[in-house]
Amino acid sequence: MSRLLFLFAVIVAVYWLLKTYRKQSPKQDAPATSSEDMVRCAQCGVHLPKSEAIQSSGNLFCSEAHRREYESR
């Protein structure tokens, strides 16, 4: 009888873990993608995700060409 109870407890624990894991994982992913900062190219003013921007001496650029243009001014 105690074995059955133990087995039942294990099943409940696994079920609960799966449930909380499934509930938490989309929540953890959502802010990571939606909170990505949008930055502005210092040369042309286009908006782009920060991860795609080229950073140089405190300024952000949409492309390597614009970084060079900006710094040659």
Measured distance CA(32)–CA(61) in Å, rounded: 22
Burial of 67 from C-beta contacts in 10 A (0-12 / 13-18 / 19+): buried
Q: By CB under 5 A, name the one of 39, 53, 60, 66 that touches Zn ion.
A: 66
Q: Is 44 in the site for Zn ion (CB under 5 A)?
A: yes
43 binds Zn ion (CB under 5 A): yes
Minimum CB separation from Zn ion for residue 37, in Å? 16
Report the residue from 39, 41, 53, 60 that binds Zn ion according to the rule CB under 5 A: 41
